[in-house]
Amino acid sequence: MLRLFLAGLAVAAVLGRSADAAELARPPLIYQPVPVVAAPFNWTGCYLGANAGVLRANTDWTDQIPGDRAFGLDFGSHTSSGGLGGVQANCNYQIAAWVIGIMGDYDWTNATGSNPNLLAPTLADRTQIRSLASITGRVGYAWDRFLAYVKGGGAFVERDYSVLFGGGATATVMERRGGWTAGIGAEYAFLDWLTGFVEYDYSRFASTANSFLCIGCGLFAPAVSFNTTANINVFKLGLSFTLPDEWDPQRSRSSPRG
């Protein structure tokens, strides 16, 4: 019995040493931290910014002088072009990858164009655009920080019309008119509080009658009445700003989307 007991102790000692050797031979466990994946950018929020670009407008003039033999005939047309700059504001709401919102902008310009009057070559018709504004709805699709969108709504323009005689303005009338606009653009969020966009807009303004006395128009007419029809093309770039996250702890610009 004693021999069997001693033999068991020897076997247990050998197995214990083997287990210890196996533990020492096993490579140590290395902790691997779970990588943090940033949440996609969220476009929900309101923005305010500024823009600049170029404007090109085509204006057609038509004779509307009562009793004139040329009533309804073309006075001619011209292109007004120039730079523009202004401000814009918009609010967005994001649902999955879709972004819907409303946008308003106001731009100042001094785009001017003129042409010789086709019915009275001694006269020239001139259009000077003072400002252009719009209020539109916007629908876009976001790929994280990149947003492509279309927009559409109402447009408003302020212009001066003049008749030139002998190189000087004989009469000027100011007009404010409403129309419609549609556009397409792309926007990118450079920072959580700074985005930049590029946009093309087309605006159309229907025919509206205007009239003013024309001193110096000679036998042509003591008063000029005319209709104008215009379409305006705008290409512009802009920046928009919103509050940084640390200024508004209740809103995360990189929060999960609903």
**Distance, CA of 46 to CA of 34 (rounded, Å):** 34
**Which pLDDT belongs to residue 248?**
46
223: left (phi over 0), alpha (psi -120 to 50) or beta: beta
**Which pLDDT belongs to residue 226?**
79
Q: Which domain holds residue 241?
A: 50-194+205-247
Q: Which long-range contacts (CB under 8 A, 24 or more apart) does 115-121 make?
A: 115/76, 115/77, 115/78, 116/76, 117/61, 117/75, 117/76, 117/163, 118/73, 118/74, 118/75, 118/76, 119/63, 119/70, 119/73, 119/75, 119/220, 120/217, 120/218, 120/220
**Distance, CA of 172 to CA of 181 (rounded, Å):** 27
- Partnered with residue 223 across adjacent β-strands are 213
**Which pLDDT belongs to residue 219?**
46
- Give domain status of residue 168, yes or no: yes
**Which pLDDT belongs to residue 74?**
74
For residue 69, give the nearest of 188, 221, 248 by alpha carbon: 221
For the chain, how many residues are written? 258
Structure tokens at 142: 């976001």
- Give domain status of residue 258, yes or no: no
Q: Print the SS3 string covering 74-134.
A: EEEEEEEEEEEEEEEEEEEEEECCEEEEEEEEEEEECCEEEEECCCCCCEEEEEEEEEEEE
HSE (side-chain half, CA atoms, 13 Å) at 114: 16
- Give domain status of residue 115, yes or no: yes
- pTM score > 0.85 for this model? no
Task: Count up the domains in the chain and report the number.
Answer: 1
- Give domain status of residue 255, yes or no: no
Longest dimension (CA), the chain: 145
- Cα-flanking dihedrals φ and ψ of residue 8, to 5°? -65, -40
**Which pLDDT belongs to residue 253?**
55
Q: How many CB atoms lie within 10 A of CB 16?
A: 10
**Which pLDDT belongs to residue 169?**
58
- Give domain status of residue 136, yes or no: yes
- Give domain status of residue 25, yes or no: no
pLDDT along the chain (258 residues), means of 10: 53 53 56 67 94 94 71 79 95 96 96 82 84 97 97 95 71 88 97 96 87 60 73 96 59 50
Q: How many CB atoms lie within 10 A of CB 181?
A: 23
- Give domain status of residue 33, yes or no: no
Q: Tokens 């007991």, residue?
A: 5
- Give domain status of residue 243, yes or no: yes
In sequence order, what are the residues at sequence separation of 6 or more whose Cβ sits closer than 8 angstroms to the Cβ of residue 175?
Answer: 158, 159, 160, 161, 208, 210
Structure tokens at 160: 């001066």
